[in-house]
């Protein structure tokens, strides 16, 4: 029992600011343990797909290079990945409320490494959400060329990182322990405005305003490989502007948070 305590030599500081695979693995496990998160990100999107996208008529109606079923599948993949990323970011509110953020200041983990960890977890859960919807869709008569599956999936997945920044921003901003309960309805409204559930009727005032909302850009861009119509540049601009705003907001709150204590 008499292990000598290291005192004479200076010990090392961990690489990567303390970010490790153990950290990522346990963070993922925590997210999967949260029943609400699992339902919202892995179960609801494929269920919505089955409800909205599998009418027999949709199989034969074509959209761009595929059928309507495939179009709905991409929309639901975006919806799921966006929810997964937001949840992964918003978890910081819980960690702040439980004093975990403060505890981490008594470890070598650098604040930047902490945020990068959250982003990586968002990427993994976002990918899982996209894959689940696409697998269900593939078995439910969704039809589009293989490269379109891949391109739509990649855009939905990586584009959703914008919402990881949104989740972080809200997680740092809102003091509530379960920020996702507040964000859920907000995201549902944004999903309608982004045309994820029902296509926007061009020309209406609602459609014009909807094009300015943050999910519109992500949804339009993710469907672009399938539809090959619409203005990709407008969608990209939408994503970049909102992504910039969310990232700036998250960075602002993050700095305040780490300076405060």
Q: Note the residues at the interface with other proteins (CB under 8 A).
A: 1-8, 10-14, 18, 20, 22-23, 26, 29-30, 33-34, 95, 98-100, 102-103, 105-109, 261
Report the nearest approach of other proteins to the CB of residue 24 (Å).
Answer: 10
**Residue (117 or 126) nearer to other proteins, CB:** 117
Closest Cα partner for 121 from 153, 89, 156? 89
Stated as kind and residue range, the H or E segment containing 126 is: helix 111-138
Q: Compute the Cα dihedral for 174, 179, 185, 190 and give only its sign.
A: positive
Strands (E), 56-105: 62-63, 66-67
List the structure tokens of 48. Answer: 């919505």
List the structure tokens of 182. Answer: 């507040």
Chain-centroid distance of CA 17 in Å reads 24
**Residue (33 or 202) nearer to other proteins, CB:** 33
Report the nearest approach of other proteins to the CB of residue 43 (Å).
Answer: 19
Contact 46, 142 (CB under 8 A): no
What is the Cα–Cα distance from 88 to 82, expressed in whole angstroms?
10
Closest Cα partner for 71 from 232, 233, 242, 228? 228
Report the nearest approach of other proteins to the CB of residue 13 (Å).
Answer: 5
Report the nearest approach of other proteins to the CB of residue 107 (Å).
Answer: 5
Report the nearest approach of other proteins to the CB of residue 14 (Å).
Answer: 5
Report the nearest approach of other proteins to the CB of residue 176 (Å).
Answer: 16
**Residue (5 or 205) nearer to other proteins, CB:** 5
What is the Cα–Cα distance from 236 to 106, expressed in whole angstroms?
41
First vs last Cα of the chain: how many Å apart?
37
Contact 179, 173 (CB under 8 A): no
**Residue (55 or 102) nearer to other proteins, CB:** 102
**Residue (1 or 146) nearer to other proteins, CB:** 1
What is the Cα–Cα distance from 144 to 111, expressed in whole angstroms?
43
**Residue (25 or 147) nearer to other proteins, CB:** 25
Report the nearest approach of other proteins to the CB of residue 12 (Å).
Answer: 4
What is the Cα–Cα distance from 151 to 133, expressed in whole angstroms?
15
**Residue (247 or 258) nearer to other proteins, CB:** 258
């Amino acid at each position: 029992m008499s292990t000598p305590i290291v005192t004479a030599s200076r010990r090392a500081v961990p690489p990567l600011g303390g970010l490790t695979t153990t950290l990522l693995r346990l963070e993922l496990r925590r997210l999967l343990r949260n029943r609400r998160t699992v339902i919202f990100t892995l179960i609801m999107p494929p269920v919505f797909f089955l409800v909205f996208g599998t009418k027999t008529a949709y199989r034969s109606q074509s959209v761009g290079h595929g059928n309507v079923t495939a179009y709905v599948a991409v929309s639901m993949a975006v919806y799921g990945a966006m929810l997964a990323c937001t949840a992964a970011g918003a978890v910081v509110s819980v960690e702040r409320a439980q004093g975990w953020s403060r505890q981490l200041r008594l470890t070598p983990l650098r604040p930047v490494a902490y945020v990068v960890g959250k982003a990586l977890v968002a990427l993994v859960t976002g990918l899982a959400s996209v894959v689940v919807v696409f697998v269900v869709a593939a078995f439910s008569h969704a039809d589009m060329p293989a490269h379109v599956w891949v391109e739509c999936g990649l855009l939905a997945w990586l584009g959703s990182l914008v919402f990881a920044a949104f989740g972080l921003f809200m997680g740092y901003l809102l003091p509530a322990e379960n920020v996702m309960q507040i964000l859920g309805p907000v995201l549902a409204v944004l999903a309608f405005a982004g045309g994820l559930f029902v296509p926007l009727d061009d020309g209406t005032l609602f459609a014009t305003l909807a094009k300015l909302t943050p999910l519109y850009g992500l949804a339009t861009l993710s469907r672009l490989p399938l539809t090959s119509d619409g203005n990709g540049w407008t969608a990209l601009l939408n994503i970049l502007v909102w992504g910039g705003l969310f990232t700036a907001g998250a960075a602002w709150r993050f700095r305040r948070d780490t300076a405060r204590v």
